[in-house]
Amino acid sequence: MCGIAGVWYNTSIYADKTVIKKMTDAIVHRGPDGDGFWYSEDNGLLLGHRRLSIIDLSINGSQPMKYRSRYVITYNGEIYNYLELKDLLTKKGYRFFTATDTEVIMAAYDFWGIQCLKYFDGMFAFCLYDNEKDLIFCARDRFGEKPFHYAINKNLFMFGSEMKSLWAAGVDKTIDDYSMYLFLNFELHEDPTDKTRTFFKHIKRLKPGHYFIYQRGKEIKQEKYWEIKQEINTYISFDEACLKFKEMLFSSIKLRLRSDVAIGTSLSGGLDSSSVALVMNQINKNSILQKSFSARFDDASLDEGFYMNKVVENRNIEHFSVYPQISNLVKDIEKIIYHQEEPFAGASISAQWEVFKLAKENGVTVLLDGQGADEVFAGYTHFFKTYFREIYLKNGRKALNVAYNNYLNCNIVKEDIKINKQFLFETKFHKAFYELRILKQKLVGVNSSAHIHPDLKNAFKNNLAPFNTYVDLNASLEHYTSNSGLDKLLRFADRNSMAHSVEVRLPFLSHELVEFAFTLPSEYKIREGWTKAIIRHGLNDILPDEIAWRKNKLGFQPPQKEWETDSEFIKKAKYYQQIAVENKYIKPNANFIWNGFMAGVFINLTK
């Protein structure tokens, strides 16, 4: 795990070698173990790298790295199956001089070209220069675990893991007003209709599962190399699916245990993080000390300590907990926003920040985490409504009644979903209702939250709300996994972890596991009233019953409402919300809202 940066001037005459050092200095937290630079005197290309040593800790692992006198790469991430690819390429005649996955990427590109991306199981963002063709090949992993930002003008192209590098190189911090509108009106952290958009007008992001080839002075066209395909396997039984899921998760975690430094786990006490921690413990045969890290809360209704203890008791797991306090949020909020490079709609991000800080303080550089399972395997209770719509349209009212009664009789904490005439009518004619909603928005504009400044509201009142009504569970899961939902969570985790020089690995986001999940029918994910049924049943022999059949999902949420009554918090919140008012994002005299506070802190970052 590292930080990358680069600049390519349209003519070498204007190349400023001091710029690349400024860019890497801005992201030293991503790679405190060293830096490296590569310059092309002939064509004005500058590549930089900050190193967090995880695989091949020797100097041989330093970047930017050269290969075959033709390629140079600066790369951030992990290719978990690099040993298998290295063996395959060795048989094809390739020689390797380091023990890194970095070298494997360049050899794979030399052999397969851009098709090499299909062979990588991992998280990555890289820029590879091919000096024979005088082009750069930039790519990002399938889900967007690793970031890649860029800016381009008539004189140069530049990129970086974080926007801080681009700011250090002179890119201005003009806020993208539409991104702020989406955040303040819908609590969206990205534009689902344009995944290149960021909160900054002049900075774009490379979309997950995409790449581009760039040659000086030409336009950038992002190309998709991977997408989720919904091809349901009607022949696999539920028991067979559970067994295969278990095998694939074990395989994914084994690959993600490859490291030359200590590996621990995040542990919330929920189904997903507990599954990862316990599978890791089984793989290690309980013989290797495993460290786990959690956030706990004084409010018993929010604290998951009971479930954490169920995971670690009688196992070779040393558990560490931190109790996030409002005083820490008040003290650290500017720093957190600086690292996030965007506002966020909830205090859970600050709790996550403290967990990663705790891991670093206790000597752990790599953490496995359960992120992604909720989106892929239907972990959120709001997916029930989509599931019921699907059952009704495919199998009729009787089947819906059975599914709904299972839901009512299940012990899981529920949302208020009523199967009435209105629900059935809206489901049956969902396309017509969607078209009517779009027509209404076109005629009278989009409803805006009461706190939004009139100027911001009027600027985007004719922009359609980026939402849809899903009547197919897998289609909804695909949206949350690929388009809107998971992306922001991965971004939050990357920024929070790398702020403390910690790498996060996500076994549930093995692309092969995700592809398998989307071949399964909806009733394998929501079954007999339970969410994530395939995880609960597939790991039932590993998980304590209290976790496998846990009734509630807390969502890693601090006591935010209580925190908002703290006097020091109120003082700071009022100060920053006023900044949002002065910049015409929040209307004057608006009541306090968390997002107005966040907007103000974020605006202050740009000054």
Task: Tell me the catalytic residues.
Answer: 2
What is the C-alpha separation between 90 and 310, in angstroms, rounded? 46
113 burial level (CB within 10 Å; 0-12, 13-18, 19+): exposed
Q: Which two tokens stand for residue 519?
A: 């071949």
Decide if 413 contacts 379 (C-beta within 8 A).
no
Task: Tell me which residue of 465, 189, 227, 194 sits closest to 344, measured CA to CA.
Answer: 189
What is the separation of C-alpha 20 from the centre of its chain, rounded to a whole number of angstroms?
Answer: 27
What is the C-alpha separation between 75 and 129, in angstroms, rounded? 11
Residues 6+ apart with CB under 8 A from 267: 273, 274, 277, 292, 293, 294, 308, 311, 312, 319
What is the C-alpha separation between 502 and 511, in angstroms, rounded? 22
Give the DSSP H/E element, type plus range, for residue 130.
Answer: strand 122-130
Q: Dihedral of CA 596/598/599/605: which sign?
A: positive
Task: Report DSSP letters for 525-536, one per residue.
Answer: TSBTTBTTHHHH
Decide if 13 contacts 158 (C-beta within 8 A).
no
Decide if 18 contacts 150 (C-beta within 8 A).
no
Task: Tell me which residue of 324, 321, 303, 305 sits closest to 563, measured CA to CA.
Answer: 324
What is the C-alpha separation between 584 and 571, in angstroms, rounded? 20
400, amino acid identity: L
Q: Dihedral of CA 401/410/388/385: which sign?
A: positive
Q: How far is CA 455 from CA 178, 214, 376, 450, in A?
A: 12, 38, 39, 13
How do beta strands 35-39 and 366-368 pair?
unpaired
Q: Which two tokens stand for residue 267?
A: 């542990």
What is the C-alpha separation between 478 and 483, in angstroms, rounded? 7
| Block residue for tokens 């006198």 | 69
Q: Which two tokens stand for residue 562?
A: 């209580």
What is the C-alpha separation between 559 and 324, in angstroms, rounded? 10
